[in-house]
Each structure stands twice: as C-alpha cells, then as structure tokens.
A and B are shown apart, each in its own frame.
Chain A
Amino acid sequence: MDYLLYPGCSLEGGGSHYLVSVEAVFKALGVKLTEIKDWNCCGASIHYVGGSELQTKALNARNLALAQQQGGQDIIAPCSSCYIQMIKTAHEFEEDPKLAAQLNQILAEAGLSYTGGVKVRHVLDVLFHDVGLERIRQAVKHPLTGLKVAAYYGCQTTRPYGEYDSVEAPRTMDQLLEALGAEVVPFDKGVKCCGSGIFFTEMETCARLVGDILGAAQAGGAQLISTACPMCQMNLEIYQSRVNKILHTEYDMPIVFITQLMALAFGCKYGKEAALDRNIVSPKSVLQAFAA
C-alpha cells in the first residue's frame, strides 16, 4: 500500500494535528505515504474572488501532474476542501477533452503535462475501502468503549460524486468509529455545511450553522464530535466561544479528527502522535481514559 499525500495548506497550519495523526495512523497500519513534492494550494472555496475557474483548475492540474511525475499512485487528500477541488479537476479532465487540452496547454507553461488517470482519494475512503474495517479492528489496542461520538463528515467530504460513500447519508466514518469501539450517536447534521467558507466574513450566519451542528450533537448525547476535514474542525472548535456569545449557549464540545481517535485507539501517544494536545477545546477529560 503506497499513496501520495497531498497535505494542503491547512494541514501545515490550523490542521497540523490532522497531519500528525494521519501520519501516525497510516504508519501503524503499514501504509506508506509520500508527500507530493512542491505541491501548491488547491484554491479552496474562496478562489473565485481572485481567480477564474480555469485558473483554479490549473492549480489542481499542477498537483495532479506532479503526482503523475512522482509515480501516479492514488493521492490522499485529507482536507476535504482540497479533496473536492482536486477530484473535481481530475473528474472533469477525464470527462471533458476540451478542458483536458486546455489544461495541458497551461501546464506546458511550467514544462509539465498530465495524461489523466490519477485517482484522488479521501482519508475515509482509503481507510474504509483499502485498509478495511477488519485490519483496523485488529490494530485497535485500546478500544474506545463507551465513548459517545457524533460523526460529522462535513459537506465536502463525500461530495460531489459520491465516489466512496453516500453523499446524503454517509456511513464510512460511522463504521470506522464503531470499529474503534466507540458508540456513534444519532446525529442528522452529518453532512450539513458548517459555513467555514464564510468564517471570517459572515460571522453571524456562520455562527448559526455551527450552532445547529453543535446543538444536534449535544442533543444526541455526544461527548465529542469526530470529523475528517480541517476546515470543519477549526470552524466548529475555535468558533464555539463566538457561537456561545452570539447564540447565548454554553457549548464546550471537543472536535477531534477521526485519525486522532484512531491513533489513540491504536495505542499511539496522546500528544506526540495523536496530537490531541493541539485541540483548543480540550478532549482530555473525555479521552484520557483511553490514552496509552
């Protein structure tokens, strides 16, 4: 098992604990990750303000071309925002020969080319379909028995093609959590947008969206929310104080990456490998019982 890793800008910043835990988990599972050399930003959701659609596709085409140059293995893009930008370009490249030609014209400016065929995968996809629940169960050393988790996928994690899971009612993370021994609570906001794209700019609206999600998780009895997108993690977590101010609530809900929980269950170190000490709403009181 050999994949290329596209960390994306967020995993180098606010989502650093995602990167640390992804690397720990894949190492534990014996999966090799090689970072795409000299990758560039995917453009994310806000690209359109400064760049055209084609420019954004060019950004992603460059990463695909680099990946192909490096061996063309499947790319893992842990950040859902990167994932969706990249998979969109990859898909449309295959479907639309005119676009493919245009992109190659553009890539030529940097002495690059792309012939198609590289697959873009999400962390959840690879864990569920390639590694498989069985191997994950085997790797669990400290089952998260009794831990009540709300599985929050976020909007972009399974969209827009539904390649590896349902776009409206995904189940992969639920099953992964269950494989870790955790209890997945009823939660109907699993793919509801958290508004991270307008985090800085439309605070009130964003607060309402975040509040809806936190409220539903709390109502379901969740001790924490598990996610697989750094945008969601950041938005749901660091925004809680704002939400509480605006909506007069008292949320104190830890937001952790599924890979952090997995690392913990695999017996990795709470801080160094699971990077749980990097969570601002501390999950310590909930998770320390499972720590190695």
Chain B
Amino acid sequence: MGQAILVVGGGMSGVSAALEAAEAGYNVVLVEKNPYLGGRVAQLHQYFPKLCPPYCGLEINFKRIKNNPRIQVLTMAEVTGIEGAPGAYKVAVKQAPRYVNDKCTACGLCGQAVEATVSNPFNYGLDQIKAAYLPHEMAFPYRFVIDPSIAGGPEGEKAKAACPYGAVDLEDQGAELTVEAGAVIWAAGWTPYDASKVEYYNFGASPNLITNVQMERLAAKGGPTSGKIQRPGDGKEPKKVAFIQCAGSRDVNHLPFCSTICCLASLKQATYVRAQLPEAEVTIYFIDIRAMDRNEDFYTKVKADEKVKFVKSKIGLIQPNEAGNLVLEGENTASGERFKAEHDLVVLATGMQPNTALNKIPAEVAYDEYGFVQAAEGIIGAGTVRRPSEVHVSVQDGTAAALKAIQLVAGR
C-alpha cells in the first residue's frame, strides 16, 4: 500500500511512529543506530509518575512489531544521505557490522569464551561488559553483538569458535542500502548534556558525582549494581543524597532551554533512594520545580516525605573532599544564606540535548538556535528532536508524526 515511511530512531517516539503508521496499513522501515530498539527509555529504571518499568510498554510494542509484517527494522544503522522531495525520497542507509548474524540464539557461549571487555554503553560506562555481548537483558532484537575492537583479533576468533550455530561472522562488512520512502520521520532522540561542560561541577572528579541517567542504571535491576543504590566510589550505601537541578539547562552558557523532564526525574529518583534506603536523606537543589500538569500530584507525594528536602538554590560549586564526599556551595535564595553542604552521593540533573544539535539531518531542514527541528513537510521531526519532552508526549508526538507522514504517502 503506497510508499514506505522511513522512521529514523528506534526510541519511544520512533517506535510509536513506526507502529502507528504500520497498524494503519502503511509499510515502514525503522532505522536505529543502536543494536537494539527502545532508545533512552530502555535505560530507565522506572517512569514517573507511576513508577512503572518502561519494559512493560516496550514489551507490548516489540510484540506489535513482531506481529506486524509491515515493519522492517534495521539496527546499527544510520542515515547518511537523503535525496528527493516529499513523496519521493531516496535515503541512503549505512549499517555497521554486528559480526553476529540472524543464526544467533542468544545462548551466550560467545560471551563466555571471550575475555576482552569494553565499557558498557548501556550502563553509561559505569561498568565493563564482555566484548561479545547482549546489549541488555531485554534487548530487541534478542541477538548478540561483537564489539569491533575484537572483531579482527584472536578474541573475535574465540567468539567464533565458541558459537555452535555459525552465527559469528567476523567478515561482516555491514551494509549500505537505499530505501525509497514517501516521507521521513526523524525521531533521533536526545543525548544527555555533557556534564563535564559545566566545569564548576567538576564532573569526573569523584566517582560519587554522577548524572541522572547514570542514576537510572544504578537503580535498575539490569544495571551495574543489580539495582542496588550505592556509591560508585566505595560501594557504600549513601546516607545524604543531593540532586542538582538545571545542571546545564536553563543556562545561556549551556542549554538555554528548560529540559522539561529533569525536575520530575529527580523527584522520581528521590523515591528510588527513599524506597531502598529508609535512613537516607535526599536534598533537591532547584531554581523552580517544574512538575507540569498532573505530574504535580507526584511532586506533592514526594514533598510529603519529610526526608526529602527542597532547597531553592542553584548550586555554584561542587568539590570532592578527602572523605570521598562532595561539598556543594550555594546560596539559599529563600533565606539569603550562603551555605556549604556535604553529601555522599550527588546526582547532576543534566538535561536533554536534541541529537539534531549534535548531528544534523542530511537534508535541508530548519532548526531553532538550540538545534530542535522545526515543522516541515516531508521530513517530519518527532519526539525530543522537536522539544524536550517526557515519554507520553513523545508517544503522542510520534503518533502525530505518523499521520503527517501518512498524509504524504496515502494514495501514492
């Protein structure tokens, strides 16, 4: 039926766009850079405000993809060029080698055979993973990946020798293909703002100074600590946890816009800490708490916990001390008091930078000065490349993008 719709990005908005278009009867090619679908939400422990696991919804979506022959999924793939006009695009897609073909049963023998490890991108570098690995426990496609660093060497050969199914293909060169599509939905998502750019927070100076995305992995069952919230520095349970809001957002020197989700993310992560560590105290340092619309209920709920404190202050300096703790300096703008506060685990609420600010779409597309995609015909932005947004808004946006694409390809 008609021309295909190309969806770039297999995160929440991309998957939503692909499925909603396919379930309305249109053919979809879904291109994802990672070896798995799910994007950033796959790396979350829980969603706010329900504190439910993202995999619940992803499982349904993956099942919808499995059951829908209209969707073709290309992982480890990136769009390198777009030619043509609305209604008739030729899109060049480059697929990186996975070194594992579809004979893989995810039995795990290659991972056992290989000794080399690589930093685990899924856990934001908090741990190491074998260089032949399943990206994470719920990965879809459920297939191993061999890190390019070992593909050409003896470790790669070990993986190959260990596989009884002939699934390891060290000769894999990847692929370059051309997709013909009537419309392109660009749902390339976001990247956490590089915390080290906010130099006065000294990110990197202490293992106990982490970002909010890392905190998700610390709390997640599949994370580096199997879900135990502990100080990466010494494995101890934190007793005084701080969340630093607007660590880069609402700052003309960094991200001039509000990243929209960080307040709620920190409120949510405060509940992770409080649920696991009844003795722990949490302090949230903020400028404004932005718990929009019905998320206010969640803020109200967290505020009711007397061990969660809110201090109106943008933190001006973070420095590690000899005890391995972190000393925060700020001005409490409600009292005027300038303070130093010691915390044993500090979480930077870094914001979302649209991936289109870092990598532009290879076509004529308008952006605002922050790099967010503006409305256009033919190449349609969806999700966090259009504005920072929470999950349900990304779904909504993905669905809307699907219809805009359908309007272009319907009847062609």
Q: Give A residues with C-beta under 8 Å from B.
A: 166-169, 188
Q: Roughly how many angstroms separate A166 CA and B199 CA in the complex, as a whole number?
A: 8
A-B contact pairs, 6 of them (CB 8 A): A166-B199, A167-B199, A168-B199, A168-B200, A169-B199, A188-B319
Q: Which residue of B lies closest to A166 (CB)?
A: B199
Smallest CB separation, A236 vs chain B (Å) = 23
A188 neighbours in B (Cβ, 8 Å): 319
Closest residue on chain A to residue B198 by CB atoms: A168
A222, B199: Cα distance in complex, Å: 24
Number of interface residues of B (CB under 8 A): 3
In chain B between 100 and 143, which residues have their CB closer than 8 angstroms to a CB of chain A?
A: none
User: CA A11 – CA B271 in complex, angstroms?
Assistant: 59
Please indicate the chain A residues that have their CB under 8 angstroms from the CB of B200 in the complex: 168
Q: Which 6 A-B pairs have the closest CB atoms?
A: A168-B199, A169-B199, A168-B200, A166-B199, A167-B199, A188-B319
B residues in contact with A169, CB < 8 Å: 199
Q: In whole Å, how far is B359's beta carbon from the nearest beta carbon of chain A? A: 24
Q: How far is the CB of B289 from chain A (nearest CB, A)?
A: 27
B residues near A, CB below 8 A? 199-200, 319
- In the complex, A168→B204 CA distance in Å? 14
- Roughly how many angstroms separate A142 CA and B359 CA in the complex, as a whole number? 47
- Distance between Cα atoms of A169 and B318 in the complex (Å): 13
Give the residues in chain A near B199, CB-CB below 8 Å.
166-169
Closest chain-B Cβ to A225's Cβ sits at a distance in Å of: 21
Per the bound structure, the CA–CA distance linking A188 and B200 in Å amounts to: 12
The minimal Cβ–Cβ distance linking A95 to chain B, given in whole angstroms, is 13
Which of A166, A167, A168: most chain B Cβ within 10 A? A168
Complex CA gap A168/B197 in Å reads 10
Inside 8 A of A168's CB, which chain B residues have their CB? 199-200
**Cβ of B256 to closest chain A Cβ, rounded Å:** 16
A188 to B322, CA, bound (A): 14
CB-CB < 8 A to B319: which residues of A?
188
Please report the C-alpha to C-alpha distance between residue A166 and residue B253 in the assembled complex, in whole angstroms. 13
Q: How far is the CB of A85 from chain B (nearest CB, A)?
A: 21
Which A-chain residue is minimally distant from B197 (CB atoms)?
A166
Give Cα distance in the complex from A167 to B200, angstroms: 10
Measured CA separation A14–B199 after assembly (Å): 33
How distant is the Cα of A143 from the Cα of B199 in the complex, in angstroms? 32
- Nearest Cβ distance between residue A164 and chain B, in whole angstroms? 15
A169 to B197, CA, bound (A): 11
A168 to B201, alpha carbons, bound, how many Å? Answer: 10
Separation in Å of the B254 CB from the closest CB of chain A?
Answer: 12
Report how far A167 CA is from B319 CA in the complex, Å: 17
Closest-by-CB residue of A relative to B202 is: A169
Nearest B-chain residue to A167, judged by Cβ = B199
Bound-state CA distance A168–B200 (Å) is 7
Determine the residue in chain A with the shortest Cβ distance to B201: A168
Q: How far is the CA of A263 from the CA of B200 in the complex (A)?
A: 33
Smallest CB–CB gap between B386 and chain A, Å? 29
A155 shortest CB reach to chain B, Å: 14
- A169 to B200: give the CA distance in the assembly, Å: 8
Shortest CB-to-CB span from A144 to chain B, Å, is 28
Q: Separation in Å of the A283 CB from the closest CB of chain B?
A: 31
Which residues does chain B contribute within 8 Å of A166, judged by CB atoms?
199
Cβ distance A172 to chain B, nearest Cβ, rounded Å = 15
| Docked complex Cα distance between A254 and B145 (Å) | 58
Residues of B within 8 A of A167 (CB): 199
**Closest Cβ of chain A: how far from B317's Cβ, in Å?**
10
What is the CB-to-nearest-CB distance from A96 to chain B, in angstroms, rounded to a whole number?
Answer: 16
Task: Give B317's nearest chain A residue, CB to CB.
Answer: A168
How many whole Å from B358's CB to the nearest CB in chain A?
20
Chain B: CB-nearest residue to A168: B199
A188 to B321, CA, bound (A): 13
| Chain B nearest Cβ from A178, distance in angstroms | 20
The docked-state distance in angstroms from the alpha carbon of A195 to that of B319 is: 23
A270, B319: Cα distance in complex, Å: 40
Q: Quick one: closest B residue to A169, CB to CB?
A: B199
A163 → chain B closest CB, angstroms? 14
A188 to B319, CA, bound (A): 10
Interchain CA distance A167-B254 in the complex, whole Å: 14
Nearest-CB distance from A219 to chain B (Å)? 13
A186 CB → nearest B CB, Å = 12
A168 to B198, CA, bound (A): 9
CA distance A168 to B319 in the complex (A): 13
Q: In the docked arrangement, what's the CA distance between A141 and B139, Å?
A: 59
In the assembled complex, how far is the CB of residue A153 from the closest CB belonging to chain B, in whole angstroms?
Answer: 13
State A167–B197 Cα separation when bound (angstroms). 11
Least CB distance from B200 to A in Å reads 5
